[in-house]
Amino acid sequence: MAEPRPILTAAEMRAAEQKAIAGGIAVETLMERAGAAVAEAAWRIAGTAETLIVCGPGNNGGDGYVAARLLKARGVPVRLAASAPASAAAARWAASLWDGPIETLPSARAAPLIVDALFGTGLSRGLDAETAQALSRLCKSAHRRIAVICRAAWRPTMARCSARFRATTSPSRWVRSSRRIGCYPRPIAVEMWR
């Protein structure tokens, strides 16, 4: 049986990420690893099903841009929608590597798989009404939904923005990357709903 993994709080996850960066690992390297883990989870869950990845302006959104690029390279019909332009430096880097169109979140069309890479451990407020409404609409139409978020931060984040997942059922299982904890301190647990 596999050794249990430690569960980190959002603050501990941010501290681990900062320690990795201080140790010489580039934010872009961490983001590339996170995006690869998200892309792999999406591939395992939905194969070549049409996928919509919704990205926020920060590093969680950057993870989404990387995942979109890697899924597209695998032949998955993937679309990307953004709530705002990438603003964090590493997220801008990841967005610059995406060669497809970027839809606005309110006008995004639904897909069988939606990957929510809007906000991560840094979210300290609820979603604005327009974002919450758009995400709810997209989630209601999807067959599968993945949220890219630190597992330990999931409950407090859900309390702050419960409208974000109003259309979803309870989480059915965790899809984990073996790189999530330890040498891979990006806030990247992948939560899936059926």
> Which range, of 13-22, 57-66, 167-176, averages the lowest pLDDT?
167-176
Q: List b or e across 99-110, with b for residues whose CB sees 16 or more CB atoms inside 10 angstroms.
A: eeebeebeebee
The average confidence (pLDDT) of the chain is: 76
pLDDT of amino acid 170: 29
Report which DSSP code applies to 110.
P
Residue among 111, 110, 128, 109 nearest 57 (CA): 128
Q: Read off the pLDDT band of 194 (50, 70, 90).
A: very low
When comparing pLDDT for 187 and 35, which is higher? 35
What pTM was computed for the model? 0.77
**Does the pLDDT at position 169 exceed 60?**
no
Position of tokens 């099903």?
49
| Measured distance CA(48)–CA(135) in Å, rounded | 22
Half-sphere exposure of 4 (CA within 13 A, CB side): 3
Buried b / exposed e across 56-83, counting CB within 10 Å, b at 16+? Answer: bbbbbbbbbbbbbbbbbeeebebbbbbb
Mean pLDDT of 170-183: 30
CATH class for the domain made up of 25-193: alpha beta
**Per-residue pLDDT at 93 exceeds 80:** yes
Share of the chain above pLDDT 70, in %: 71
Q: Residue 144: which residues within 8 A CB-CB, separation 6 or more?
A: 45, 46, 49, 112, 113, 114, 192, 193, 194
